[in-house]
Amino acid sequence: DAGITQSPRHKVTETGTPVTLRCHQTENHRYMYWYRQDPGHGLRLIHYSYGVKDTDKGEVSDGYSVSRSKTEDFLLTLESATSSQTSVYFCAIQGGTSTDTQYFGPGTRLTVL
Amino acid sequence: AQKVTQAQTEISVVEKEDVTLDCVYETRDTTYYLFWYKQPPSGELVFLIRRNSFDEQNEISGRYSWNFQKSTSSFNFTITASQVVDSAVYFCALTSNFGNEKLTFGTGTRLTIIP
């Protein structure tokens, strides 16, 4: 157990509304990641963080922003949600039992109507 | 660019049969890590194994074994004597960004074990 929680676990929202997903870790890991999982695509990296206030884009970053003001929290924001952002979102940390391995949170299922 | 291909979208086998999940990868880097993750019906992602590119020894863990072959760029996963609890989606992943392991995932193989 890498001590990762995600909130909310499920959310339904409407197109055009802002949405923020939270990832919280309890073990002070430096690297944190946001992925989205879609059928036929596996998991794709949205953004990642390598420290407080240090973030960078991943493969599918358009329409998303992130913030990390504390080591333990990594926030993913959809400024204006679109139906194409309906997905399952996973947060991950690097570290734990195996330092070069990513461990994932339980996921957030987001539906944009 | 890196790429991971899991050509088997879905596999069904009868319980107690052996099954192999294929993973083929592409990378220009000489140093990299390969991973397998399991996603059971409950939805969480469970880490199974990490293998680095310098270590081509096969690994066995109980009913699970992994065959890493650099010559064919493959990292295949075999479940021996499959059980219903093995039913899940299995993902293969690759990284060569050491220190910051940005993972490239395959599209996954859905394995169904029929009782």
Considering only the beta carbons, identify the residue of B35, B45, B107 that sits closest to A90: B45
Answer whether A101 sits within 8 Å of B47, measured CB to CB.
yes
Q: Provide the pLDDT for residue A1.
A: 55
Distance separating alpha carbons of residues B110 and B86, to the nearest angstrom: 10
Cβ neighbours of A50 in B, within 8 Å = 100
The CA distance from A70 to the nearest CA of chain B, in Å, is 19
pLDDT digits (tens, 9 = 90+) for A39-49: 888 999 999 99
Around A49, how many Cα atoms within 13 Å sit in the side-chain half-sphere? Answer: 26
Q: Give the number of residues written for chain A.
A: 113
Report whether pLDDT(A98) > 70: no
The position carrying tokens 């169904």 is B112
pLDDT digits (tens, 9 = 90+) for B23-58: 999 999 888 999 999 999 999 999 999 998 988 888
